[in-house]
Chains A and B, each alone.
Chain A
Amino acid sequence: AQRVTQPEKLLSVFKGAPVELKCNYSYSGSPELFWYVQYSRQRLQLLLRHISRESIKGFTADLNKGETSFHLKKPFAQEEDSAMYYCALSGPNTGNQFYFGTGTSLTVIP
């Protein structure tokens, strides 16, 4: 069965420190992975997706099929990165459904 796991509900880091938000998934086949972010009082929005291989706001994520992970990383955290982050999965076997993790609330301490 498809599943996305974000083991950390809460994560706090100091400004300028590296940050890594963990995401593990369970899926039979080749999934497409996404990271969504929700800033305070804003709607949930796409941060980045695996297929684009891009860096958005300094964040990157690498798909590790061996470890079935898609961790989100940023070398130097900024205060404006404080938000709720959701990892999501879609794929040929999901019937156009996205599977979301339960989210990680990131707080960057000034």
Chain B
Amino acid sequence: KAGVTQTPRYLIKTRGQQVTLSCSPISGHRSVSWYQQTPGQGLQFLFEYFSETQRNKGNFPGRFSGRQFSNSRSEMNVSTLELGDSALYLCASSLGQGIYSPLHFGNGTRLTVT
């Protein structure tokens, strides 16, 4: 099976711009989660989608949004970018059925805001 695919791998944006990140989950996985990874904070949960519905959202401002399509692919959008948004954004997919479904991660999108 192909793994979780994230595009693009790298992005450089300017403050105030917006950005869209894409994630294709493992075939058959209906849950997609997004995490922000920074050296000081580790992995911070952004949100989780299952069958096109957002089931949970982390403690991030409304500038961070996402969606999931009927084929389970997901996108994350960040509007009005700030310098502090520079981070590695990880997408993870899972079967999403219960607490025993481990996460499978993509390689991430490295976002740099200047």
Contact = CB atoms under 8 A, between A and B. Distances in A.
Q: Are A and B co-members of a single complex? A: yes
Contacts of A86: 42-43
Contacts of A49: 100, 102
Contact of B106 (A43, A90, A95): A43
Interface string A74-99: 00000000000010101110111111
Given A31-B99, A36-B103, 16 more contacts: A32-B100, A43-B3, A43-B4, A43-B105, A43-B108, A44-B105, A45-B104, A49-B100, A49-B102, A90-B99, A96-B50, A96-B55, A98-B33, A99-B45, A100-B42, A100-B43
A94 B33 CA distance: 13
Interface residues of A, number: 25
29 contacts: A31-B99, A32-B100, A34-B102, A36-B103, A43-B3, A43-B105, A43-B106, A43-B107, A44-B90, A46-B104, A49-B100, A49-B102, A88-B103, A91-B99, A92-B99, A94-B99, A95-B56, A96-B33, A96-B56, A97-B33, A97-B48, A97-B56, A98-B33, A98-B43, A99-B45, A100-B43, A101-B42, A102-B42, A103-B42
Interface in B91-114: 96, 99-100, 102-108
Interface of A: 31-32, 34, 36, 43-46, 49, 51, 86, 88, 90-92, 94-103
A36 B104 CA distance: 10
